[in-house]
Amino acid sequence: MYVRSTIRNLMMMRETGPTPAICNQGNFKTYIGGLQMGHVFISPLNWGLGHASRDIPVIEELLHRGHEVTIGACGNAFAFLKREFPSCNFIYFEDYPQPYNNGLLFITTFTRHMPKLVRAFEEERNACKKFFLKTPYDLIISDSRPGVFSESVPSIQITHQVHQSLPLLIWPLELLGVFINSNAFKKYAAIVVPDNDPGEGALGGKLSRTFFDSAREKLYYSGILASVRRRPIPRDIDYLVVISGMEPQRTQLEKLVLPRVAHLPGKKVILLGKPQVNQVTKSGDDTIIYSYLSNEEKSLLMSRTKFIISRSGYTTMMDVAETGIRHGLFIPTPGQWEQEYLASYYESQGWFYSKSQFLFNLDRDMEKSYRYGGFPTMPTTRENVSRLYQELLAQHLE
């Protein structure tokens, strides 16, 4: 079972935070200083740290507004958010089994993996039905976990993939996916798309658009929701390398890039994205390697960076836009079609250069990368998340 013993985990592994002052029988709204506060359940997908990372500003805003937050996650996402928000309630809540990404052959591997995903989704859905009946919340927020919702509690999904990108060989399935999404969105009160409005400034390109009116009515374009904040400090780091994503491709990127980066001139910082460990390693006088950094530390790091080398995952792209890094080289994860599309889209827009890891040549690709000018200026995450709360979340919590 992929969501094995979920109900048992939900009920027995919960770590409670501060006790509410007054609690209604019918829901978890509490009253502090005369203000009515709500209890929010938020659950990110654990396929890489991207989903958990972009939920950080939403969780911060909810806590800032005085609401109680319970986080349901597993694996690296659980460990990551536990370190960022130790005062929140936590439930170890397993999601879907990750397909083994073997690169160029991923399309066949993913196809064989589909029955497992369907079974895992059904198990998650059944577990959630029972759990949300026993444990009352005022709002449920799912980040790319389509089985996490309730028919009786307002539920919101966060996703930037309104329209999936698939290989040209199976392009008709891409259209089918858009149709399936439009039907799935009906279960939710709203779909929060962490992107600018559709148009030239949209970071997601076609991924954040749909041609179904029924789905458009559900979409709320929040603007970027980056996990980091830009700091007004000098850019004194020449190169930042961010190693991220699902295994085994995360390790493949590490093996590919790290030996080559050592030869670049200037100050270099490497972030491995391993929240379970806490190691700092120095390589020579000009290179430092972190296994993990807190969100605040990462904000400072990216604000100091002149040039970034990373995957083209959407959450990383929002962080780049937020911190104003103007130059970079993106290496999309092989077989991860969303990243491959985004890398190609950004190149066509003149924003950033990208290269397949199978054709990667650091010296040549670095030279080409400096011809691109970075993302256009856009509203900050702080502005966006405040507007998201006031226009959407508050109606369910206050």
Rounded mean pLDDT, 380-397 = 96
pLDDT of residue 329: 97
pLDDT band of residue 19 (cuts 50, 70, 90) is very low
pLDDT band of residue 377 (cuts 50, 70, 90) is very high
Instruction: Express each pLDDT in 279-312 by its tens digit.
Output: 888 877 799 999 888 888 999 999 999 999 999 9
* Segments of 52-176 assigned E as strands: 68-73, 89-92, 139-143, 155-158
What is the length of the chain? 398
pLDDT of residue 228: 94
pLDDT band of residue 321 (cuts 50, 70, 90) is very high
Architecture of domain 6-226+381-397: 3-Layer(aba) Sandwich (3.40)
Query: What 8-state DSSP symbol labels residue 169?
Result: G
Residues 289, 278 contacting (CB under 8 angstroms):
no
Residue ranges of the chain assigned to CATH 3.40.50.2000: 6-226+381-397, 239-369
pLDDT of residue 180: 67
Q: What is the CATH number of domain 239-369?
A: 3.40.50.2000
pLDDT of residue 15: 41
pLDDT of residue 104: 56
Instruction: Express each pLDDT in 50-107 by its tens digit.
Output: 899 999 999 999 999 999 999 999 998 999 999 999 999 999 988 877 665 555 555 5
Is the predicted pLDDT of residue 116 greater than 90, yes or no? no
Rounded mean pLDDT, 315-328 = 96
| Neighbouring residues of 295: CB distance < 8 A, sequence distance ≥ 6 | 53, 56, 84, 227, 228
> How much is the mean pLDDT over the chain?
84
* Neighbouring C-beta atoms of residue 232, cutoff 10 Å: 5
Is the predicted pLDDT of residue 6 greater than 50, yes or no? no
Rounded mean pLDDT, 95-123 = 67
CA separation for the pair 375, 391 (Å, rounded): 26
Is the predicted pLDDT of residue 183 greater than 90, yes or no? no
Instruction: Express each pLDDT in 26-41 by its tens digit.
Output: 344 554 444 557 999 9
Which residue would you say has higher pLDDT here, 119 or 257? 257
